[in-house]
Amino acid sequence: PVFFLLWQETLFPYIKDNVKEYLRTHWEEEECQRDVRLLRKQAQEDSGWDGAVLIPLESGGGEEEVEQVIQAVVDNVHWQMSLDRKTTALKQLQGHIWRTAYAAGHVKGEIFEDVVPAIRKWREAGMKVYIYSSGSIEAQKLLFGYSTEGDILELFDGHFDTTIGPKVESESYRRIAASIGCATNNILFLTDVAQEANAAEEADAHVAVVIRPGNAGLTDDEKSRYSLISSFTELFLPSST
């Protein structure tokens, strides 16, 4: 569902509500300190931005100083999220907080009920299934590893995120095709975003636009241009065996 995939109603609020407690709990761990160092470096780069929040260095001043630094990290994270920033530093910390939340059962990835049966049939027919998302590969694996359908990571042959390129650029789809050893015209790309559909088509991939509750609407031109489905059960794909 779009409310989950866009993370506006589930994952983003979880970060805002729990980032301070996460930092307090994991502060002494090296992974957490790496995240803070990356955020501090990003904050320096953002110092010219209006409202930017710098993160001071610790000088060994005790618990009170640690609490001040943690608060600065929290304020920086909230500031970046308010601007919908997608910096590596922010995404890395978010991913680690979500990992903890998934493992504790506080969050589960929402999956439409038609998805898993359809993918199983495709795989039985010899097809391979990959995820390409603006969410990081780690975030993808958490979503599908701790989903409402259980751990379904075995259904996917690989994952791609925007480190391979933006989803609105055709070259990204050519890179994916080269990476998996498949011609672009043997790929079907499913999306709910017309710009992504256009980019995939420019790379000579097949495209179907998925209409789900809550998704952004399409123009009449887009509706007539693309193949539209509202469920994976509407796809009838040729066997690759």
The 10s digit of each residue's pLDDT in 117-145 is 999 999 999 999 999 998 778 888 999 99
pTM listed for this prediction? 0.76
| Cβ count within 10 A of residue 60 | 6
1 Cβ partners below 8 Å, 6+ apart? 110, 112, 212, 213, 214
Closest to 91 in 3D by CA, of 77, 79, 110, 70: 77
| pLDDT tens by residue, 83-100 | 988 788 998 899 899 999
pLDDT at 12: 84
pLDDT of residue 6 exceeding 80, the answer is no
Q: Are 194 and 226 in contact (CB under 8 A)?
A: yes
Q: Kindly indicate the confidence band of residue 215, based on its pLDDT and cuts at 50, 70 and 90.
A: confident
Per-range mean pLDDT, top range of 3-7, 52-56, 106-110: 52-56
Query: Three-state DSSP class for 193?
Result: coil
How open is the CA angle 167-168-169, to the nearest 5 degrees? 95
Residue-range domains of the chain with CATH: 7-104 (1.10.720.60), 114-234 (3.40.50.1000)
- Which pLDDT score, from 0 to 100, does residue 2 have? 65
- pLDDT over threshold 80, residue 21: yes
Average pLDDT score, the chain: 91
- Say if residues 170 and 126 touch (Cβ distance below 8 Å): no
Whether 240 has a pLDDT exceeding 70, the answer reads no
> In the prediction, which pLDDT does 209 show?
96
> Strand order in 188-191's β-sheet?
188-191, 206-210, 227-229
- Residue 204 pLDDT: 98
User: Does the pLDDT at position 108 exceed 50?
Assistant: yes
Average pLDDT over residues 15-23: 96
pLDDT tens for each residue of 38-74? 999 999 999 999 999 999 998 887 899 999 999 999 9
Q: Given this model, what pLDDT does residue 162 score?
A: 86
Q: Which residues of 200-210 are buried (b: 16+ CB within 10 A; e: fewer)?
A: bbebebebbbb
Residues 168-189: tens digit of each pLDDT: 999 999 999 999 999 999 999 9
